[in-house]
Amino acid sequence: MTVVSNPQAEAFETMRRGVLFLLIAWLLIGIGLSLTLFAVFTGAFLAPRHFGGGLAGAMGALAAMVVVVIVGAIIALVGLWGYFVPGVRKLAEINPEFSTSATLIRVGLYYGLILLLIGALLVVFIVGIPIMLVGIILIIIGYIGLIILSFKLNDVEKNALYLAAGILFIIAIFASIAGFVAWILLYIALGDSIKKARQAPPPPVQPQPTGPLPPPV
């Protein structure tokens, strides 16, 4: 039996695997940033009474933040470059309307996370801060690509979860917690699109040309 490939379903499945990696990375990076805030407030509270202890606690939390953020960024890069970006690129090959979002996501999120990772490694030096700022700007560009992608998927798939995810990605530029919810909605919506694509009738198989029949004996 010949298995007919479904490029659209394969693109959605690849994107969905990438989203799962990004959700895990988002949690780790969120934990790292929370540790940073904890270190800042703890250091500010303990500094007047126990300067050495407060500073040591703050530095320890900062080191933990760097490690967690680095691990989260690496997982995000694997999810982006290994799955999500190739999935969006494959979707753009099927429908060129997704080409713009594919480019913005690749340039913004992927390279933005690389710079964020480099900046986290150099955070103890002054040069690490501007590198992280450039990375954040690129990530915002990547989010614009995600917004365009979500709205375009809503137009094509007629699934309101894509629309909700796109709106939350807009909010996430100013309130990052909304981005986590947006990724969850995108993960669910891609699952619906996979089922829809699998249920669609396969394209007709074109008959293969045959050579001339042998002359009768």
Q: What is the Cα Rg of the chain in Å?
A: 23
Which of 2-6, 120-124, 186-190 is the least confident region?
Answer: 2-6
CA angle 136, 141, 146 (to 5 degrees): 115
- Quickly state the pLDDT bin for 110 (edges 50, 70, 90): confident
What does the pLDDT average to over 2-23? 87
More confident residue, 28 or 214: 28
- Quickly state the pLDDT bin for 128 (edges 50, 70, 90): confident
Residues near 68 by beta carbon (within 8 Å), at least 6 away in sequence: 28, 29, 31, 32, 35
Looking at the predicted structure, is the pLDDT value of residue 83 above 90? yes
- Quickly state the pLDDT bin for 202 (edges 50, 70, 90): low
- Quickly state the pLDDT bin for 70 (edges 50, 70, 90): confident
Looking at the predicted structure, is the pLDDT value of residue 171 above 80? yes
Mean per-residue pLDDT of the chain: 82
User: Token pair 């270190």 is at which residue?
Assistant: 39
- Quickly state the pLDDT bin for 125 (edges 50, 70, 90): confident
What does the pLDDT average to over 123-135? 82
> Residue 37 and residue 43: Cα distance in Å, rounded?
10
- Quickly state the pLDDT bin for 65 (edges 50, 70, 90): confident
Rounded percentage of the chain residues whose pLDDT exceeds 70: 75
